[in-house]
A and B are shown apart, each in its own frame.
Chain A
Amino acid sequence: MRPLDENETTVVFEKIFKFVGNNLKNIVENPSHEGPEPEAGRYCFRLQRNRVFYVSESLVKRATNISRKNLISLGTCIGKYTHAGSFHLTIMSLNLLAANAKHKVWLKPTSEMSFLYGNHVLKGGLGRITDSIVPGDGVVVFSMSDVPLGFGIAAKSTQDCRKLDPNGIVVLHQADIGEYLRDEDEL
């Protein structure tokens, strides 16, 4: 387990910034109540076995006892580095993103299952959408009852969405909670 170095930190922050924008400050400076001390510590990022973890400092201190090959996970895993060296956010970061997301999309009940199978979000399945979405922004997908379902990249801006035909893709799928069942091994 080691802290992220400069490059890695920038890459990770960039990815998160797409989804949360200025709330990135909240994420980094969130007081954490984890750990046995009654005072709140801070969160930090750590790299372990190509996975980036968002974890409270007090946990980090106590995890130093555990040797590298025996440490599997700390706190929340937010993403992993591929062999090629690029960083992807995984579904396990959903809670963190959903709490701080700037761009959101709500799906109709009929198209929930389709998204959970890994398909992209189509215009016909769109219930609500926040304004000021630019293509290429990170979007968090919710169900109508505000259950976070996953996230993706916006394909069209909000304005364009209105003009789109029902089969047009609005959000490109990146990760959804159905992966807990479909891709258990990948996680």
Chain B
Amino acid sequence: MVLTRSSKKAPKPQTPPVKNLSKAQTPPLSKAEKPQTLTSKKGAKSQKKPPLKKQKKDVVVEEEEVSDVESEEIDESDDGEKGSNGFFSDDDGEELLGDDFLEGSGDEEEVLSSDSDSDSDEDDIQKESEAIDRAKAKEEEDADAELLDFNKEAGPEEHETFRLPTQEELEEEARGPPDLPLLQSRIKEIVRALSNFNVLRPKGASRKECVEQLKTDLASYYGYNSFLIGALFELFPPVELMEIIEAFEKQRPTSIRTNTLKTRRRDLADVLLNRGVNLDPLSKWSKVGLVVYDSQVPIGATPEYLAGYYMLQGASSFLPVMALAPKENERIVDVAAAPGGKTTYVAALMKNTGLIFANEMKVPRLKSLTANLHRMGVTNTIVCNYDGRELPKVLGERSVDRVLLDAPCSGTGVISKDESVKTSKSLEDIKRFAHLQKQLLLAAIDLVDATSKTGGYIVYSTCSLMVAENEAVIDYALKKRNVQLVKTGLDFGQDGYRRFREHRFHPSLKQTKRFYPHVHNMDGFFVAKLKKMSNMKQASEDDDEAVETVEQADVSSDDDEEAEAMEEMEKLSVPSKQPKENKERLAKSKEKKKGKKDGKSKSINVERKPKKKRSDWKKEIAQAREEKRRAMRENSKGKQ
């Protein structure tokens, strides 16, 4: 406060006229006695008054001089802390203050005698309040300036001591075991610097050097390999990166899911509370979830658990099943079912009606899957042991209503459960997973019957944060099959990326959802819900191949025409409750193929097609399309 006061100090006024004035103001003191006492106790308030008075523009010069004098006096009092008592005992000074507090208005009354009393009062109050506002604003500005000053002062001071370590220092560090406190402080410093780089940059260091040093420090402090740190760095800004890395170090809360086939959440909660388990409902978006804070008995070994009343399941695993929303009497496939948490949830939602195919590729995991199914009392499930990519051949294409694909992934979202992911994943692993996921997703799409009355949905989910395993896979499926993204039905969570670094995805990818441990307090997760529009494939039958060849391009052009013809027939034959929607869907899919509105896909299609026969095809296709378009327009006009 001293600083502000000094900056506000106006040039020292002449003393003589002030004294005269002060003497003149003494008589009305009697009024001001009460405020005197107030001001004597509330030293701060009294200090505020003089600057207020200074800022009054229409204030009489004499007043300013008076206030200046007082500010001087009060400054003196501030400088001598104990002396303030002495100052306040100085009645004259106090009286002056007291005078000014009330006398300011009084002075104005005397001066502006032409105005009526009430007006001047209001004016005074208004002016006072304005003055107070201005004072506050100025104080805030000054406070900010001080803070910046502090930063600058503290910053450069610390930065003079903080700079990026030189080569020799790094070598020295590398010689012994990593010095954890030093690493931690350096990490904090660099993150702070990166957050406001223009102001806080350390001397002689580029942004890139800071980033590199931060990555190495994070990798050695938290135990990550350099690839994973780099990948996380691409996804998050430095401050959020710190949050998520800290979140990965801790466990997410244990949660359980009530088995609605056997009991209700309320009853289960009562029973478990009796056993000494401290629990709460999970959150408002789940009616079956409970979170366990602590427990006197092992939560995975209670008689209720063994009797199948609940299942230990992470909160994020509820989400794909909630997105899938299976209905009774449907046929569902769970492509990667073990250990069975999601499968049992699906069965519970279906109330043991309908049919579930639970598929799992790895034999050792089948036992836990079967055991969980039996324990939870699920009777409508067939367990089989296939590679997910073979399922369309085995079960038949277009044979089921919904598919849940919780794809095998790198597990970068569940680092808190499995620390080995920090060091074991590399770029090749991610690419391999992405390739496998694309194949599985195409197989899953082929399993679904688009004309199913109640279904036609595929839910794709992973427990990974990498864009290559999430948005890229969905984007690939959008191009290769006639599917569309729809709302997941989860009203929380962050939207998926529409573009990321050099990738540009289909705009509908905004409807996918991402979940983070540091934001939602559950494992990192990605959920996407696709609706199959029609049973025609856009690519060739060989859907295992991710690369298109010349033959495929041939077939695709033929398929286009056939597909359009088929779609028209389907459109007429399928009882269209919403003819508009059908038309829109058709129009959309057509546009997709034509690449008219969706310029991105067109460009990519064009890139993929070989350039040899392009010109010929283009003409044929364009002609065919124009004819079809005319026919469509006539049809639609006719219908309307």
Residues of A at the B interface (CB closer than 8 Å) are 33-38, 55-56, 58-59, 62-63, 65-67, 69-77, 92, 95, 112-113, 116, 143, 145, 147-149, 177-178, 180-181, 184-185, 187
Q: Name the CB-closest residue of B to A63.
A: B382
Q: Is the CB of A66 within 8 A of B354?
A: no
The answer to the question of B386 belonging to the interface, with a C-beta cut-off of 8 Å to chain A, is yes
**Which residues of chain A have C-beta atoms less than 8 A from B401's C-beta?**
36
Known interface pairs A34-B379, A73-B382. Does A147 touch B355 (Cβ–Cβ under 8 Å)?
no
The answer to the question of B395 belonging to the interface, with a C-beta cut-off of 8 Å to chain A, is yes
Q: List 21 A-B contacts (CB under 8 A).
A: A34-B379, A35-B354, A35-B380, A36-B330, A36-B355, A38-B329, A55-B379, A56-B379, A59-B382, A66-B394, A66-B395, A70-B386, A72-B370, A74-B383, A75-B379, A92-B374, A112-B303, A149-B307, A178-B306, A181-B306, A185-B367
A36 to B330, CA, bound (A): 5
Selected contact of A184 from candidates B271, B300, B329, B371, CB within 8 Å: B371
Q: Is the CB of A116 within 8 A of B355?
A: no
Q: Is the CB of A116 within 8 A of B370?
A: no
Q: Name the CB-closest residue of A to B374.
A: A92
- Complex A-B, nearest 6 residue pairs according to Cβ-Cβ distance, in ascending order: A177-B306, A34-B380, A73-B383, A92-B374, A72-B383, A33-B353
Known interface pairs A59-B355, A145-B271. Does A180 touch B384 (Cβ–Cβ under 8 Å)?
no
**Which residues of chain B have C-beta atoms less than 8 A from A147's C-beta?**
303-304, 307, 309
Selected contact of B366 from candidates A62, A66, A72, A180, CB within 8 Å: A72
Selected contact of B306 from candidates A33, A38, A180, CB within 8 Å: A180
**Which residues of chain A have C-beta atoms less than 8 A from B396's C-beta?**
65
Given contacts A33-B352, A71-B382, 12 further A-B contacts (CB under 8 A): A36-B401, A65-B395, A66-B384, A71-B384, A72-B383, A77-B374, A116-B306, A177-B375, A178-B306, A180-B306, A180-B375, A187-B370
**Which residues of chain B have C-beta atoms less than 8 A from A35's C-beta?**
353-355, 380
The answer to the question of B230 belonging to the interface, with a C-beta cut-off of 8 Å to chain A, is no
**Which residues of chain A have C-beta atoms less than 8 A from B303's C-beta?**
112-113, 116, 143, 147, 149, 177
Known interface pairs A38-B329, A62-B382, A63-B382. Does A76 touch B271 (Cβ–Cβ under 8 Å)?
no
**Which residues of chain B have C-beta atoms less than 8 A from A63's C-beta?**
382
Selected contact of B368 from candidates A77, A145, A184, CB within 8 Å: A184
**Which residues of chain B have C-beta atoms less than 8 A from A58's C-beta?**
355
**Which residues of chain B have C-beta atoms less than 8 A from A74's C-beta?**
381-383
Residues of B at the A interface (CB closer than 8 Å) are 271, 300-301, 303-304, 306-309, 329-331, 352-355, 366-368, 370-371, 373-375, 377, 379-386, 394-396, 401
Q: Name the CB-closest residue of B to A143.
A: B303
* A82 → B minimal CB distance (Å): 18
A143 to B308, CA, bound (A): 14
Known interface pairs A34-B353, A62-B382, A66-B382. Does A73 touch B373 (Cβ–Cβ under 8 Å)?
yes
Q: Is the CB of B371 within 8 A of A180?
A: yes
**Which residues of chain B have C-beta atoms less than 8 A from A34's C-beta?**
352-355, 379-380
Q: Please classify the interface of chain B as helix (H, G, I), strand (E, B), loop, or mixed, using the class held by over half of its residues.
A: mixed
Q: Name the CB-closest residue of B to A75.
A: B379
* B307 → A minimal CB distance (Å): 5
* B580 → A minimal CB distance (Å): 30
**Which residues of chain B have C-beta atoms less than 8 A from A185's C-beta?**
367
Q: Please classify the interface of chain A as helix (H, G, I), strand (E, B), loop, or mixed, using the class held by over half of its residues.
A: mixed
A148 to B306, CA, bound (A): 10
Q: Name the CB-closest residue of A to B263.
A: A147
Q: Is the CB of B384 within 8 A of A187?
A: no
Interface centre among B309, B329, B354, B380 (most CB of A within 10 A): B380
* B599 → A minimal CB distance (Å): 42
* B45 → A minimal CB distance (Å): 68
* B391 → A minimal CB distance (Å): 10
Selected contact of A187 from candidates B331, B371, B381, B383, CB within 8 Å: B371
A181 to B312, CA, bound (A): 14
Interface centre among B304, B329, B373, B374 (most CB of A within 10 A): B374
Q: Is the CB of B329 within 8 A of A95?
A: no
Q: Is the CB of B368 within 8 A of A72?
A: no
**Which residues of chain B have C-beta atoms less than 8 A from A59's C-beta?**
355, 380, 382
* A110 → B minimal CB distance (Å): 13
A77 to B381, CA, bound (A): 11
Q: Is the CB of B374 within 8 A of A148?
A: no
* B560 → A minimal CB distance (Å): 32
**Which residues of chain A have C-beta atoms less than 8 A from B330's C-beta?**
36
Known interface pairs A34-B355, A116-B306. Does A187 touch B367 (Cβ–Cβ under 8 Å)?
yes
**Which residues of chain A have C-beta atoms less than 8 A from B368's C-beta?**
184
* B309 → A minimal CB distance (Å): 8
A66 to B385, CA, bound (A): 9
* A38 → B minimal CB distance (Å): 6
* B461 → A minimal CB distance (Å): 23
A69 to B463, CA, bound (A): 30
**Which residues of chain B have C-beta atoms less than 8 A from A148's C-beta?**
307
* B109 → A minimal CB distance (Å): 84
* B327 → A minimal CB distance (Å): 11
Interface centre among B301, B330, B379, B394 (most CB of A within 10 A): B379
Q: Is the CB of A181 within 8 A of B367?
A: no
**Which residues of chain A have C-beta atoms less than 8 A from B375's C-beta?**
177, 180
* A167 → B minimal CB distance (Å): 23
A88 to B352, CA, bound (A): 26
Q: Name the CB-closest residue of B to A71.
A: B384
* B581 → A minimal CB distance (Å): 25
A10 to B374, CA, bound (A): 24
Q: Is the CB of A65 within 8 A of B394?
A: yes
* B344 → A minimal CB distance (Å): 13
A67 to B384, CA, bound (A): 9
Interface centre among B352, B353, B366 (most CB of A within 10 A): B353
* A145 → B minimal CB distance (Å): 7
Selected contact of A75 from candidates B304, B309, B353, B380, CB within 8 Å: B380
* B530 → A minimal CB distance (Å): 21
Q: Name the CB-closest residue of A to B309.
A: A147
Q: Name the CB-closest residue of A to B400.
A: A36
Interface centre among B306, B394, B401 (most CB of A within 10 A): B306
A33 to B381, CA, bound (A): 12
A149 to B353, CA, bound (A): 25
A74 to B554, CA, bound (A): 44
**Which residues of chain A have C-beta atoms less than 8 A from B271's C-beta?**
145
Interface centre among A55, A72, A74, A145 (most CB of B within 10 A): A72
Selected contact of B384 from candidates A33, A37, A72, A178, CB within 8 Å: A72
Interface centre among A65, A69, A73, A147 (most CB of B within 10 A): A73
* A144 → B minimal CB distance (Å): 11
A35 to B329, CA, bound (A): 6
**Which residues of chain A have C-beta atoms less than 8 A from B367's C-beta?**
184-185, 187
Interface centre among A67, A178, A181 (most CB of B within 10 A): A181
* A164 → B minimal CB distance (Å): 25
Q: Is the CB of A177 within 8 A of B355?
A: no
Q: Name the CB-closest residue of B to A66.
A: B384
**Which residues of chain A have C-beta atoms less than 8 A from B355's C-beta?**
34-36, 58-59, 62
